[in-house]
Amino acid sequence: MTDLLAEQDAARLALRCLDLTNLNDDCDEDAIRALAERAVTRYGSVAALCVWPRFARLAREIAAPDVKIATVVVFPTGEATDEEAMEETRDALFEGADEIDMVIPWRELMEGRDASVRSRVERVKRAAGDAPVKAILETGVLESAAMMRRAADAAIEGGADFLKTSTGKVPVNATLSAAEILLTAISQADRPLGFKAAGGIRTTAEAWAYLEMADRIMGEGWASPQTFRFGASGLLDSLIATLNGAAPVTAAEGY
C-alpha cells in the first residue's frame, strides 16, 4: 500500500506538471478540442497544452483558464535565422501562446558554433518578453555527454527559462542520462531555471523516475509546474489509471 500511495503521489505531481501535447503532422481542430477536453481531470488540470502555432488561438479560446498554452518555434529542425525565430515567437504570442518551446540550432553546436545557440536563445527570449522560453536541446542527436552539457550551458547563457530534452521527432528522445546532465547544469546555474523531459515518456513509473532524479539533484520538493514539465500525450492515460488504482497503462505516444 505504501508503494501504491507513493506512486499515486508521483502521478498526481506528474499530472500537474504535464504539457499535454499534440504536435502530430495530421493534427486538426477536432484534435485540439479533444486535447483541451482531456486537460481537465477529476484529479486537477495539466500545466499546459502544447500545440502547433496555427492552433494556439483556438487552444487559448477553449482551454480552461488555469491551463497554459505552449507552442513551438523553428520546430522541429531548429533551422532558421535568428530573425525568423523572433518573428515566429512574436506571431505565436499574438495568437495566444503563453509559453514558447524553441529548438536550438543544434547542428551548429555540433560544428563547434556554441555562440549560435546563445544568440538564438537571446533573440527568442527578447521577442518573448515575459513569456517563459523552453530551449529544446535535441539531446538524442548530440554525440556525447560533453556536447549535451555545452548545449545546456549555451542555452542558459542565452537566457532560457527551461532546458528541454527533445522535440519528440527523432529516434532517441528523453532519457534519464540526458536528464541528469541537464538537471546538473540547472543546479549549477547562477539563476533559477526549469527542466522539461519530452518524448517517449508513457508510464507513471517512467515519470516517477524523472521526478526522483529531480529530487536527488535539485532537492526534494523542487519539482512543480513552475520548474518541471513533461511533454507527452499518452502519459496522461497512465497517470489517471494509477490515480484510479488500476493497473498501469502504456499508451501509444504520438509525440
Distance CA 16, CA 159 (A): 25
Percentage of the chain beyond pLDDT 90 is 93
Residue type, 49: L
Distance CA 39, CA 35 (A): 6
Distance CA 153, CA 186 (A): 9
- The confidence score (pLDDT) of residue 247 equals 58
Q: Is the pLDDT of residue 1 over 80?
A: no
Count how many Cα atoms sit within 13 Å of the Cα of residue 16 in the half-sphere of its side chain.
13
- Pick the catalytic residue: 68, 125, 169, 196? 196
Give the mean pLDDT of 147-163: 98
Q: Is 164 a catalytic residue?
A: yes
Residue with cell 514539465: 229
Q: What is the pLDDT of residues 205-251, one digit of tens each?
A: 999 999 999 999 999 999 999 999 999 999 999 999 999 997 554 44
Q: Is the pLDDT of residue 252 over 90?
A: no
95-115 per-residue burial string, b: 16 or more CB within 10 A, e: under 16: bbbbbbbbbbbbebbeeeebe
* DSSP-derived 3-state class of residue 85: helix
- Pick the catalytic residue: 82, 164, 169, 237? 164
Longest dimension (CA), the chain: 55
Domains along the chain with CATH numbers: 2-243 (3.20.20.70)
- Pick the catalytic residue: 101, 125, 134, 161? 101
Q: Is 196 a catalytic residue?
A: yes
Q: What is the pLDDT of residues 31-83, one digit of tens each?
A: 999 999 999 999 999 999 999 999 999 999 999 999 999 999 999 999 999 99
- The confidence score (pLDDT) of residue 248 equals 52
Cα dihedral 254/52/49/229 (nearest 10)? 70
Q: Model's pTM, two decimal places?
A: 0.95
Q: Is the pLDDT of residue 10 over 70?
A: yes
63: which 3 cell numbers? 482551454
Q: Is the pLDDT of residue 254 over 80?
A: no
130: which 3 cell numbers? 515575459
- The confidence score (pLDDT) of residue 143 equals 84
Distance CA 166, CA 37 (A): 25
Quote the mean pLDDT of the chain: 95
* DSSP-derived 3-state class of residue 146: helix
- The confidence score (pLDDT) of residue 249 equals 47
